[in-house]
Structure 1
Amino acid sequence: MINDQVQKQQGGNASTNLQGQSIVINQGISYSDARDIALDVYKSNFLQLSHDAAELARTRAEELTDSFLTKLKETNETAIEQMKQPAMQAALYEAQKQYAKSGDEYMEYMLVDILVQRASTPERNTKQIVLDEALEVVSKLTNVQLNILSLNFGLTRLSKNSIINIDSLINYINNELLVFVNPNSDYHQSWFEHLAYSGCVVLLDATWYHDIPELLLGNYPALFQKGFDEKEFEEFVGKPISQFNTLLMHCFHAVNLYQFNLMNEKLLVDKANELGIENELTNKLKQYFNIRLMNKNEVKEWLLETVPDIGFLLEKWGGENNQLSKLQLTSVGIALAQANYKQKITNIDFDLGIWIK
């Protein structure tokens, strides 16, 4: 009797043998597979509600899931594979749960942004843990409290390479700082205490803080140079000014004067070294750079004259009874601050990995 069902195969080292009458090979998961997984997780876990409430909650969960997967597909399609991981499913369920309860469109953006970052962080590290925590915390904060985080982030954690002249600085103040300020708000002490309770900030000693002129002066010192003429420069440096043309430009605040064209002291030193300027002379240039800077009071006067709307922020930031300037963002606070920043400011993106590894 002939057995025509006998099958025999051989394979070499490191080979994969497949045997059967019908073989289906599945490598990875598709967008629709990921969506099915996500919604199954939601249906299996979310609490039972009355019919109408359940339908609304399900619709919101689907909206969030579709928004998340669409954005993930656009930005990092390979990360859809993470939907097979229990930890990623748990993170998505947390976001679904939060949005199903609130239906707040603004929160949806925040949750989707954090989820995309989470899916793009497959290895377990501090960044992944922070993003998981941020998904739980975001629903506990008001829009004003999120803006407080973003304002602090923009002033104390962010130094923008795009700020290269006075116009770009003014644009940054108007469109990336003041948008987070509510001039009708008293910034109640309980808001800051809640931010601390939620793990987003540490409340600092009320006697210590950096004021806004000091922060801007520290980040963008070249924009606050008072300028100098040829005679002043040559008397201090001891060399003809013509030897340093590549390091100088007309002053932002007085076109008849000169200033250094590097944003800060470090960049000036690096450029001088690149040009082969001797160390002793480089130190003199560095010293003169700092001598010709405005002081904090002069920066404040210039700000009030140039951007009058900043007056409210200057007052609130430095007020004796206000905590705006006395917050230190935690890792979770930074994650929420930058997500909120991206939601409010168009054409802005951040790599959270710069601040959290």
Structure 2
Amino acid sequence: MSQRQTSGDNSTNYQVAGDLHTGLSYRDVKEIADDVFHQNFTRLATEAASTAEERARAICDKFLEKLSNESPESLNNARNPDFQRALFRVQEEFATTGDEDLGDLLVDMLVDRSKQAGGSFRQVVLNEALKTAPRLTSAQVTVLGAIFMARYVNVNANSIPLLHATLRKFWLPLVKGLSQPSDANMGHLAYAGCGSISLGVVTFTQLFLERYPGLLTLGFEEDQYPWISEFKDKGIVMRCLRDPAKLQIAAVSQADLENKLSTIDVGEHANELQQLLKANPISGEAIHAEIESLDPEFKNFAETWENSAMKSFDLTSVGIAIAHAHCRRVLGSAMPSVDIWLS
């Protein structure tokens, strides 16, 4: 078959028989990864070297398959030295340890990192997280995941049964089998840059009262607030979920109420409505009893939370990145993108 092309100055000719691909392919990136690993990894004895290379190839394949499925256009970032350094770091750690849990955690963070634009805040954070995660034990990573879910993730629930279902679906897998971390373990998490131990305390009951005040209230008597009747037909007031003889604000959270109030004129009653949302909550003992009745693991988590520094631990961006990767590994696609928390 004879083919002829002509072109002008400073142009590029392409001549193909099938599809045209101008970016890096899966095979191209794999070859780059192999080259980077061989050029940088410390030479070991024959048997150890063979094991290291096998692990490096395995973790690279797992990463490239995941990245190809989620963001194939990001394969072109393999030309970037920062990308190559991050990939080598993952290969090096897994080649050395062979820890499958750590490998999966690093792959998830590396995929997220590979999607980010060069020099972005998220990329910087995820680069740091890739360096930090290997310095943690699997138990410490589990603690980060539990703190992240308990303190930083808001899952919508507009009814009491849905709240219970949400806790079983999202919280239970992350707190199951959680062991109480020692002060030394929490101190190491702080030393590693995953968070800080503050003077403030978030109790077990506050975890729920701050998120779902509208699902944990005993309501109020209508005659206590004569002016409340004008909001009955505006979707702001409803029968109390826990005591139908009373009323309550028709919102689950503060943000939910603010969205509703933004659509109507409530005059001088805005602050009072917001206060009523959180008024007359069920007791702390009742919250413990209700949550712990869902599964024995919640009782263990409540005791672990109250008796450790977890209740005072504030996550950094690096801690959030590691915790999110752990949560996504446990919960799968139910876990939203890390971009929500690293903006």
Q: TM-score range by the shorter chain?
A: 0.7 to 0.9
Tell me which of 315, 333, 337 is aligned to 1:347: 333
Q: CA deviation at 1:138?
A: 1.4
- Indicate which of 87, 90, 94 corresponds to 1:95: 90
Contact 2:222 2:247 in 1 (8 A): no
Give the conservation status (yes or no) of the 8 Å contact 1:134–1:336. yes
Equivalent position to 1:290, from 278, 285, 296? 278
Equivalent pair of 2:177/2:297 in contact (CA under 8 Å): no
2:155 match: 160
Partner of 1:172: 166
Partner of 2:102: 107
Contact 1:155-1:212 within 8 A present in 2 as well:
no
Change (3 A) 1:341 1:143: same
Partner of 1:316: 304
SS in 1 for 2:118: coil
User: For the pair shown, which has the larger CA radius of gyration, 1 or 2?
Assistant: 1
TM-score by length of 2: 0.87
In 1, Cα distance between equivalents of 2:148 and 2:98: 27
Q: Could you tell me whether the CA contact under 8 Å between 1:95 and 1:111 is conserved in 2? A: yes
Identity %: 27
C-alpha distance in 2 between matches for 1:289 and 1:27: 58
How many angstroms does 1:225 deviate by? 1.6
1:277 maps to 2:265: yes
Deviation, 1:311, is 2.4
1:333 pairs with 2:319: yes
Looking at structure 2, the residues matched to 51 and 255 of structure 1 have their Cα atoms a distance apart, in angstroms, of 75
Deviations 1:11-59 (CA, angstroms, capped at 9, x unpaired): 6xxxx4348xx98997321111111111111111111122222111111
Task: Tell me the TM-score normalised to structure 1 length.
Answer: 0.84
> How do 1:18-97 and structure 2 match up within 5 A?
18=12, 27-97=22-92
How far, CA to CA, are the matches of 1:196 and 1:283 in structure 2? Answer: 38
- Report SS of the residue matched to 1:202: strand
Structure 2, gaps ≥5 residues long: 1-5
Query: How many Å apart are 1:168 and its aligned residue?
Result: 2.9
Instruction: Determine helix, strand or coil for the equivalent of 1:47.
Output: coil
> Residue type matched to 2:317 in 1?
S
Question: Following the alignment from structure 1 to structure 2, what is the Cα–Cα distance between the partners of residues 266 and 175?
Answer: 23
Match of 2:219 among 215, 223, 227: 227
Q: How many residues align?
A: 336
- Quick check: 25-34 or 46-55, which moved more? 25-34
Which whole-Å deviations, capped at 9, do the CAs of 1:202-253 have from their partners, x for residues lacking one? 1223xx311021121101111102134xxx2254043547843633444332
Cα RMSD, aligned residues only: 2.8
Is 1:118 the counterpart of 2:123? The answer is no
Distance 1:72 1:168, change over 3 A: same
Counterparts of 2:261 and 2:186, CA distance in 1 = 45
**Aligned match for 2:248, one of 254, 259, 267:** 259
The gaps in structure 1 that reach 5 residues or longer are: 1-7
